[in-house]
Structure 1
Amino acid sequence: MTDFARLLHADGPNSEHAAALQLYGRFVGDWDAEITAHGSDGTTHAAPGEIHFGWVLEGRAVQDVWIIPRPAGAPAFPIAGNWYGTTLRVYDPTMSAWRICWFDPARSVFRQQIGRPHGQDIVQEGTTEAGELTRWSFTGITTDSFRWLGEAKPNTAADWRLMVEVRAKRRKG
């Protein structure tokens, strides 16, 4: 392992905020996913994908990689496009919340959000570069599965619109 990889990755949560770090730490591992993109005209498209979560930065953060669709060289996924991006999720004890940055350089999509527990779910909120509100939620969380919803709301709209839904199952073995 290179020095960079060795210094980035961590074996587990930092003991200073171990309980709070489990909000996202429970996802550490490898996941298979079924992604459904929802067009504004009511059309939907589905594709397989994969998600990988790990501890980083002395166990003070969780980083993930989302890959959709899985096959290399696959044609563009309608509506949502192909994803090969990473999220850095850092717990900020000064606000009892998570600072979240998503980077997808191939699509030039970059988002910043604040994440917090909401009952049994996790809700992340932010805005796009154009000022559109974003809400990404983890729901139905179990040890081996979760559902992720990507929603958007233009400033002029009354309601949120579901853009992407991900159903993930933990890989066995």
Structure 2
Amino acid sequence: MTTSVPSFTEALVAPGPTPEYPGRMRRFGQLVGAWAAKGSRLNEVSGEWTEREFTWIVEFVLDGRAVQDVELVVSGSHPTGFKTVSTALRVYDPDAGAWRVSYFAPAEGEYCHLVATPHRNGLRQDGTGTDGRPIRWNFVSITADAYAWEGWVSNDEGTTWLLVEHNEATRIR
């Protein structure tokens, strides 16, 4: 019997969420699709905010037990016209009742690990940044066609928080 091996994409990307945890998978699953995003980032040294635009693509992966995203920016030098800036993998951990999140932006030297839980009308992701400081990434509102996201950092082990990034996006797929 000959079985053809699937491509990497076919093996990774899932057609939908696992049926084992439908409510839990909906938390990040509601973001599956493609998004046109605008954001601003704080340079903590200069105090200046920088505006940016990017495309965010989110898919179910690992037989629907996780959600992975990629952040793309326009790049005329790349064959596709886009450069992949970062990726995050969000895996639901049924034993912990929470999502484990790993974020990677290799060109920027950013590697963050967080745990995500529901919070008010969105999702809170708490963890540690590459520099060891506590970080908090909040989806503060998610609708079928839009989301807002905030990135926070703490310089005093979580007593106070500094807003360092804000993104808003609209669904394009």
Report TM bin, short chain. Answer: 0.7 to 0.9
- Native 8 Å contact 1:53 1:65 kept in 2: yes
What does 1:56-71 align with in structure 2 at a 5 Å threshold? Answer: 56-67=61-72, 70-71=73-74
**Aligned residue pair count:** 163
Relative to 1, partners in 2 of residues 1:129 and 1:44: Cα closer, same or farther, differing over 3 Å?
closer
| Farther-moved stretch of structure 1 (141-150 vs 124-133) | 124-133
RMSD (Å) for aligned C-alpha atoms: 2.1
What does 1:133-172 align with in structure 2 at a 5 Å threshold? Answer: 133-155=134-156, 158-171=159-172
- Native 8 Å contact 2:134 2:157 kept in 1: no
Tell me the equivalent position of 1:20.
Answer: 24
Tell me the equivalent position of 2:105.
Answer: 104
| Farther-moved stretch of structure 1 (16-25 vs 128-137) | 128-137
Letter in 2 for 1:159: T
What does 1:98-137 align with in structure 2 at a 5 Å threshold? Answer: 98-137=99-138
Letter in 2 for 1:27: L
Tell me the equivalent position of 2:55.
Answer: 50
CA–CA distance in structure 2, aligned partners of residues 23 and 100 of structure 1: 13
Relative to 1, partners in 2 of residues 1:110 and 1:144: Cα closer, same or farther, differing over 3 Å?
same
Gaps of 5+ in 1: 75-81
| Farther-moved stretch of structure 1 (133-142 vs 39-48) | 39-48
Identity of aligned pairs, percent? Answer: 33
Gaps of 5+ in 2: 78-82
Relative to 1, partners in 2 of residues 1:39 and 1:83: Cα closer, same or farther, differing over 3 Å?
farther
Tell me the equivalent position of 1:93.
Answer: 94
Match of 1:37 among 41, 52, 68: 41
**With structure 2 as the length reference, what TM-score do the two structures score?**
0.87
Shift of 1:42: 3.9
